[in-house]
A and B are shown apart, each in its own frame.
Chain A
Amino acid sequence: MAADTIDLEGIAERARNELDAATDEAALEAWRVTHLGRKGTVTGVLRQLGELEIEERQRIGAEANQLKNELGAALDVKLAGLKAAKLAATMQEGRIDVTLPARKKRVGRLHPITQTMREIVDIFVSMGFAVAEGPEVETDYYNFEALLMDRDHPARDMQDTLYIDYDRDGTYPFMMRTHTSPNQVRFMEQHQPPVRVIVPGKCYRNEATDPTHEWMLTQVEVLAVDEGLSMADLKGTLFEFAKRLFGQKRRARFRCDYFPYVEPGVDMAIDCFICGGEGCRTCHQEGWIEIMGAGMVHPQILSNMGYDAERVTGFAAGMGMERIAMLRHGVEDIRHFYRNDLRFLEQF
């Protein structure tokens, strides 16, 4: 066999033309078999090399291998192009309207008062306070007497009371608790100082309702008793609480107020977070919003608990969740909370 019978040029030209003409994967596969397959044109040349003279063999072998590589690479390019075009076509067909509504997943929510309560409890827990709950139906002793409001104390008027129909010698010793403070006493009866506890829970007042008054309330009571606790600790604790709940920029202030079970007694206000103290509707043009009552636990109460009131001192505070939730969410009517209208509840 002679070298001049091998038309490598012709093979190359035919193969290139046919590759250009191929438009789908099947045609490309047929082309590959025709030229690069086991019995293909280029492979055929390589097979015949053994029959050639050494010089011819080297020259034609090199050219044929080069052609084989060239055609193989050209095939890969063509295949990749086809694949890309196919994917592009698929993507075009598969376009979706991403602005269609999401498939609805049921989302449940906690009541806004539960949410507020959780946040407040978390803040105090992070300050080392334990959480305790107490009964909602209380005795006169815990709700009033142990808090230095005996039967004839005028301060009882501050908390209109719902009495339970249980008559003992012509008086009604059981009532819906009017505040969470009775649990101060219950907790101290069971524990020795140091005491650091908060008491969340429902309270009840015999009050007519209006946009700012509700007869069922949720309060959190705060109590700490230890050696060396003073109003400075009370201030530090409550101011820090206010900052965490209402924002680090908040300022807070105490003013004198009266509760029979604390001495001195104060009311804590924060500067209005709507107007920053300038005066607006939320703060009734005051610039300040009162959020809780507080004070140093009356030494008589500590003595009654068997504590040494000369040695240990304590502070207490109490706040209403509804009021705080109203302030934070701009709710104008307290009665929304327990009407349980889903259109209201689902906003939180």
Chain B
Amino acid sequence: MRVSLKWLADYVDLDLSPEEIGHRLTMAGLEMEHVHRVGGDWDPELITVGEVQSVDPHPNADRLRLATVNYGGAEPQTVVCGAPNVAPGQKVVFARAGATLVDGHSGKAMVLRPAKIRGVESAGMVCSERELGLSDGHEGILVLEPDAPVGRPLAQYLGDAILDLDVTPNRPDWLSMLGVAREVAALTGNEVREPEHTYEDVDEMAPANVSVDIAASDLCFRYVASVIDGVTLGSSPAWMQERLNASGMRPINNVVDITNYVMLELGQPLHAFDFAAVKSAKIIVRRARAGEHLTTLDGAKRELTPEMLVIANENDAMALAGVMGGEDSEVTENTKTILLESATFHAPNVRRTAATLKLRSEASSRFEKGLSPELAMIASQRATKMLVEIAGGRALHGLVDCYAAPAKEVRVDVTRRRLQQVLGIDLPTSDVRNALTLLGFHVKWEPPEHYRIRVPYWRTDISIADDLAEEVARVVGYDQIPTKNLGGDVPPAEPQPLRELRERLRDALAAAGMQEVITYSLTTRESLVPVVSDGDLDGFLHVVNPLSAEHEYLRPTLRGSVLQALAQNQHQRESEIALFEAARTYVPREGELPEEREQVVGVVSGRRENRWGRASDDPVDFFDAKGYVVAALRTVGVEPEFATAESLGLLSGRTATISADGVQVGVVGEVHPDVRAAYDLDDDAFLFEVSVDELLPAVKQGVAYEPLPRYPPVVQDIAVIVDADRLVGDVQSVIEQNGLVRAVELFDVYEGEGVPASKKSLAFSITYQSSDKTLTDREVAVAQEAILKGLKTKLGAELRG
């Protein structure tokens, strides 16, 4: 809402600066976004109101003329003027040399200098709106009202400050000058001056007994129709145009401008019908018929549905109630008589109709917030008065007011105790009464507890005691409320094991050297296709109204997003990039909210760093990814197991499942070259995915301490020869099965000279230890013998000689 303070001053005295008014409104809930100053750049000495005394031809140019202007100085000045509309007797804006104006061609600021134009000295200028920065209008000079006082600084005469206010959806009354004036009055302690709305009607009945029939009384609560005869269509007066412009509305003609003006002034949208279109003088407010069409004022032919409310004549819809008028009943130059509508419609219905037709208007944005039916009559009278006084019409007798169930005044009781309970302060009765009275509430105090409040009609947002607590607080100011430390019982904390595990994994992966990323939860179908199986493609959840195709699909996996994050960064460095994300994935469930699963996905790529932190020739591999998994899982107390596996999008033979306590919790593997290509990844990449939900049961709560060994270990190295495709993990688990073995460490894998073809040698360091005694050489030798025997029978392994 744009509020011109010059206009606002009609309704309330403004004795504060625009900034201070804006500040007080902001603190009270009507936020000022900024102040726009009109004429702030106008020099009060050099730019003044002038009067054109004479206009003479230019001796050397047909298109230029010489205007002699009295600007309030000792001598009138003659200047060269190119405007076609300059004429003697006009009040104009006169700028003298040195004034800063807007250049009519470039639109930039310029300082006016004396110049010779086609041989004639010119030391001033008669200004257009564009040169004053008022609008882009440059067709001619700005002609002021005939009563503009000669010599008055223009900054005083036309200057203004326009507050741009952000109106919250609960306050339709703030979408009006009067509503803002009431607020300013309450915050400054000044009186409100309500605009005049009484008028003289003529002793002539509206023709043929205008009738209004509200057929849909659930959607229209009041309909006031007044008929104004003999209007002369033309431009509205300059002051009205100026105010409409200041409010961001385009002047159209006097009739339309008056309806808009009153809407801005009082907050009640109005509509003027060409009375000739109202067949048989009959207004019917009804639901649209299925398949009915209406061409609205914006020229669009719209198909209506029975959910929509229309204003119709005997046959056809003439307007979409509360949203927009129709072309066929529009006021034109030929209009002699108008029917002025001022009505109250069902807010949700207006909102739905406007939303369905994507047709938000100044009217619908007010109606949808809920207006009081009381306002309809006042606005009708105010507009009728202006149509009589400004558009030369005659208000015919017999205004029709169709108002079957008048709204009851809202009364709310508030106790002193409740105010204290909500606000935390026992405010003096006088403060409460004063605050509410300033805002227009009628307050009756019944000691010791009760305030009986009558709510003014324009406050459609007030219905309960706590609403009034807010009203009091915003007038007395929130600074009055004390600051208290939170006391009372602290509720018992509930464990959040899933969240805690996810956070611990985040910490562990960062500690291991990975960078956390956060990517968007919604993505494109294309980015999901390479990382989900064909069968799942159709089941994707997606958004029906995405703003951008980039963010349409709810991801069932984080893999695509993390690979994209890698792709975005791969050209920045050749050395290792290790990224991970911990986030939700979404799995559809029929008829229910999707299941949201916590996943952690990491990816590693690039080359290892050398002594200098630069990329070496040594690329990262599968075991780097595996290393991060092991580090993270061990940090949360889980010893992961790995087994050869296949997984979509990962390279066969270079992929493993990750298990904990025998349950699969994830996968790790090399990204398939086709998938890499799909994400424009140049280098090999290795990815892991861990399901936090699956991992949770394997996480041990509270690690039990194991006593430090009291007896010395015996460490022995052995090398065994096995088939080249034998898994090290299998060999290792056979060794670990021996009861005396405390630890097994692989320290070499060798194939080549000295080892038979298609065999490999594995060297293990085995630690034997007992918790009961010091082991003898013999006991160790027996254990090793047993291990070797087991390896031979189970895996065909031979001790390497």
A residues with CB within 8 A of B: 101, 103-111, 113-114, 118, 127-128, 130-133, 135-139, 151-155, 157-158, 161-166, 172, 174, 176, 191, 194-197, 202, 204, 206-208, 215-216, 224, 226-233, 235-237, 239-240, 253-258, 260, 263-266, 296, 298-300, 313, 337-343, 345-346
Using A127-B486, A256-B474, A337-B518 as known contacts, say yes or no to A104 and B547 having CB atoms under 8 A apart: no
Tell me whether B484 and A232 are in contact (CB under 8 A).
yes
A143 to B4, CA, bound (A): 38
Q: Known contacts A133-B496, A137-B593, A264-B466; decide if A233 and B521 are in contact (CB<8 Å).
A: no
Q: In the complex the two chains form, is A235's CB within 8 Å of B27's CB?
A: no
Contact B29 A255 (CB under 8 A): yes
Residues of chain B lying within 8 A (CB to CB) of residue A236: 483-486
A313 in contact with B422 (CB, 8 Å): yes
Query: Besides A153-B169, A264-B466, A340-B568, 4 other CB < 8 A contacts?
Result: A108-B578, A253-B479, A340-B579, A345-B515
Q: How far is the CA of A165 from the CA of B596 in the complex (A)?
A: 17
Pick the 9 closest A-B CB pairs, nearest first.
A232-B424, A106-B513, A152-B348, A230-B424, A256-B29, A264-B470, A258-B168, A128-B490, A254-B478
Chain A neighbourhood of B197, CB < 8 A = none
A264-B469, A313-B422 known; A176-B543 Cβ under 8 A: yes
Interface segment, one of B205-213, B220-228, B315-323, B609-617 = B609-617
CB of B464 within 8 Å of the partner chain: yes
Q: Let me know if B510 and A110 touch, CB within 8 A.
A: yes
Q: Are B593 and A109 in contact (CB under 8 A)?
A: no
Tell whether B792 is near chain A: CB-to-CB under 8 Å. Answer: no
Residues A235 and B484 in contact, CB atoms below 8 Å apart: yes
CB–CB A264/B422 < 8 A: yes
Q: Given A152-B352, A164-B554, A265-B470, do A228 and B516 touch, yes or no (CB 8 Å)?
A: no
B462-517 with Cβ < 8 A to chain A: 464, 466-467, 469-470, 473-474, 478-479, 481-486, 488-491, 493-494, 496, 499, 503, 506-507, 509-517
Interface string of B25-58 (1 = CB under 8 A from A): 0111101000000000000000000000000000
Which residues of B lie under 8 Å from residue A130 when comparing CB positions?
491, 493-494
Contacts A165-B542, A255-B478, A313-B421 given; indicate if A240 touches B485 (C-beta within 8 A).
Answer: yes
Contact (Cβ within 8 A) B518 A113: yes
Cα distance A253–B499 when bound, in Å? 33
Contact A224 B486 (CB under 8 A): yes
B577 within 8 A of A: yes
Contact A109–B516 (Cβ < 8 Å): yes
Contact with A along B534-546 (1 / 0, CB 8 A): 0000000111111
Complex-state Cα separation, A133 to B481, whole angstroms: 32
Given the known interface contacts A110-B506, A151-B348, A231-B422, the answer about A258 and B522 at a Cβ–Cβ threshold of 8 Å is no
Residue of B nearest to A139 (CB): B593
**In the complex, what's the smallest C-beta–C-beta distance from A275 to chain B, in angstroms?**
17
Say whether B469 contacts A339, CB under 8 Å: no
A162 touching B466 in the complex, CB below 8 Å, given contacts A101-B613, A110-B516, A255-B27: no
* Minimum CB–CB distance for B15 against chain A, Å: 22
Check if B425 is an interface residue, CB within 8 A of chain A. Answer: yes
Bound form: Cα–Cα A71–B298 in Å: 120
- State whether A206 and B352 are in contact (beta carbons under 8 Å apart), knowing that A138-B593, A340-B568 are contacts in the complex: no
Residue of A163, A194, A264, A345 near B474 (CB, 8 A) is A264
B542/A164 in contact, CB under 8 A: yes
A139 to B522, CA, bound (A): 18
B170 close to chain A: CB less than 8 A: yes
**Chain A residues within 8 Å of B565, by CB:** 340
With CB as the reference atom, state the residue of chain B lying closest to A201: B584
Complex Cα–Cα for A239 and B494 (A): 26
Query: Could you tell me the distance in whole angstroms from the C-beta of A34 to the nearest C-beta in chain B?
Result: 48
Of A162, A206, A215, A230, the contact of B421 (CB 8 Å cutoff): A230
B368 at the interface (CB under 8 A from A): yes
For residue A101, give the distance in angstroms from its CB to the closest CB of chain B. Answer: 7
6 A-B interface contacts by CB (under 8 A): A133-B496, A152-B352, A204-B522, A235-B482, A263-B469, A341-B572
Task: Tell me the bound Cα distance from A152 to B354 in angstroms.
Answer: 11
Question: B169, A154: Cβ atoms under 8 Å?
Answer: yes
Residue on B nearest A226 in the bound complex, by CB: B488
Q: Is the CB of B547 within 8 A of A208?
A: yes
Q: Across the interface, do B514 and A108 meet the contact criterion of CB distance under 8 Å? A: yes
Decide yes or no whether B130 CB sits under 8 A from chain A.
Answer: no
Instruction: Report A19 CB to chain B, min CB distance, Å.
Output: 49
CA distance A172 to B486 in the complex (A): 41
How distant is B475 from chain A, measured CB to nearest CB, in Å? 9
CB-CB nearest in chain B for A237: B486
Residue B150 lies at the interface, judged by CB distance under 8 Å to chain A = no
Q: Which residues of B contact A110 (CB under 8 A)?
A: 506-507, 510, 516
Complex alpha-carbon distance, A208 and B547, angstroms:
7
Q: Is B519 an interface residue (CB 8 A)?
A: yes
Contacts of A257 in B (CB 8 A): 29, 31, 168
Bound CA span A191–B491, Å: 10
**With A108-B514, A313-B421 as given contacts, are A233 and B466 in contact (CB-CB < 8 Å)?**
no
A154 to B365, CA, bound (A): 9
Closest-CB distance, B179 to chain A (whole angstroms): 15
* Min CB–CB distance B26 → chain A (angstroms): 6
**A255 neighbours in B (Cβ, 8 Å):** 26-29, 478
Q: Are B28 and A256 in contact (CB under 8 A)?
A: yes
What residues on B are CB-neighbors of A108 within 8 Å?
509-516, 578
Question: When chains A and B are docked, how far (Å) is the Cα of A233 from the Cα of B467?
Answer: 19
Q: A206 near B545 (CB under 8 angstroms)?
A: yes
Contact of B425 among A118, A153, A162, A232 (CB under 8 A): A232
